[in-house]
Amino acid sequence: MARSALAQSVPAPAAGPGHDPDKRQQILEGAREVFLARGFDGASMGDIALAAGVSKGTLYVYFENKQKLFAALVAEQCRQTAERSFVLDAEDHDVRAALTRLGKSFVDGLMRPQHLATIRIVTAVADKLPELGRIFIDSGPRAGVARLSDWLRTKIARGDLTIADVELAAWQFLALCQGPLLAPVLLGGEPRPSHARIDEVVARAVETFIAAYGRRG
């Protein structure tokens, strides 16, 4: 399926007018401040230019409209979360310990205030701008699943795990880790769970995963 014009606009070209990486990052930082404070509908390009310390003309050189600017911000936020959370070493042969570390770092990434705020904003506009939701899914959850799936395949090759549908198993593990934790914070206004609670949920997720896919005999 062809990607939409909005999705294609997210990555910045390496060179050319309007693509200085430092200036682009300066704009994204200003945009993050405004979007987190006012939401998507409440933010204006004028507010973002002011927060970023650039002229509106400069802002429009880098991002032709608010949708594309927010799409770039979402992609960057999700990419940073995935890179920080999904640190996996193919040479790490202790599957249980590696999954435990991953589960904790994954939940920690989800619970970061900026990430929670991004989820809320994307959810609020997804009906009218579904492409923003797709960018969030592709840059965040699907990117994380791809990284975990690659690592799981190395464990399957060693005989440590037996998995028929690797991507499904990766989704299942992440769902087990976040299920009891994310929704109460994201939707119920509850405080971030304690480290002890996160450790307990992740430990049960790992046990369930190993019971389903661990080496037999």
Q: Are residues 102 and 198 in the same domain?
A: yes
217 within a domain of the structure (yes/no): yes
The answer to whether residue 129 scores a pLDDT higher than 90 is no
Once rounded to an integer, what is the mean pLDDT over residues 58-67? 92
3 within a domain of the structure (yes/no): no
The answer to whether residue 6 scores a pLDDT higher than 70 is no
Q: Are residues 199 and 118 in the same domain?
A: yes
Q: What is the DSSP letter of 9?
A: T
Q: What is the pLDDT of residues 147-167, one digit of tens each?
A: 999 999 999 999 999 999 999
Q: What is the pLDDT of residues 45-55, one digit of tens each?
A: 999 999 999 99
Percent of the chain beyond pLDDT 90? 60
81 within a domain of the structure (yes/no): no
Give the whole-angstrom CA distance, residue 136 versus residue 113: 16
Alpha helices in the chain (DSSP H): 5-8, 21-42, 45-52, 56-62, 66-85, 95-110, 113-125, 130-139, 141-158, 166-186, 195-213
Q: What is the pLDDT of residue 5?
A: 45
Q: Are residues 46 and 109 in the same domain?
A: no
Q: What is the pLDDT of residue 7?
A: 44
1 within a domain of the structure (yes/no): no
Q: Which residues make beta-bridge pairs with 161?
A: 214
73 within a domain of the structure (yes/no): no
Q: What is the pLDDT of residue 17?
A: 52
Q: Are residues 60 and 92 in the same domain?
A: no
198 within a domain of the structure (yes/no): yes
CB of 64 within 8 A of CB of 159?
Answer: no
Q: Are residues 156 and 104 in the same domain?
A: yes
Q: Are residues 51 and 117 in the same domain?
A: no
Q: The tokens 């492409």 sit on which residue? A: 131
Number of domains making up the chain: 2
Q: Are residues 50 and 121 in the same domain?
A: no
Q: Are residues 14 and 118 in the same domain?
A: no
Q: What is the pLDDT of residues 103-121, one digit of tens each?
A: 999 999 899 988 898 888 8
Give the whole-angstrom CA distance, residue 39 versus residue 52: 16
Q: Are residues 192 and 148 in the same domain?
A: yes
Q: Are residues 129 and 206 in the same domain?
A: yes
194 within a domain of the structure (yes/no): yes
pTM value > 0.75: yes
Amino acid at 165: D
Range of the domain at 26: 10-64
Give the whole-angstrom CA distance, residue 177 versus residue 179: 6
Write out the DSSP string of 87-128: ---TT---HHHHHHHHHHHHHHHHTSHHHHHHHHHHHHHTTT
CATH number, domain with residue 37 = 1.10.10.60
Going 15 to 21 to 23 to 28, the CA torsion angle's sign is positive
Q: Angle at which helices 95-110 and 141-158 pack, to 10 degrees? A: 180
Mean pLDDT, rounded, of the chain: 88
Q: What is the pLDDT of residue 11?
A: 46
174 within a domain of the structure (yes/no): yes
Q: What is the pLDDT of residues 157-215, one digit of tens each?
A: 999 999 999 999 999 999 999 999 999 998 888 999 999 999 999 999 999 999 999 98
Residue 143 to residues 5, 100, 137, 200, 203, Cα–Cα distance (Å): 20, 19, 8, 25, 23
The answer to whether residue 66 scores a pLDDT higher than 70 is yes
Q: Are residues 42 and 107 in the same domain?
A: no
CATH number, domain with residue 133 = 1.10.357.10
Q: Are residues 108 and 145 in the same domain?
A: yes
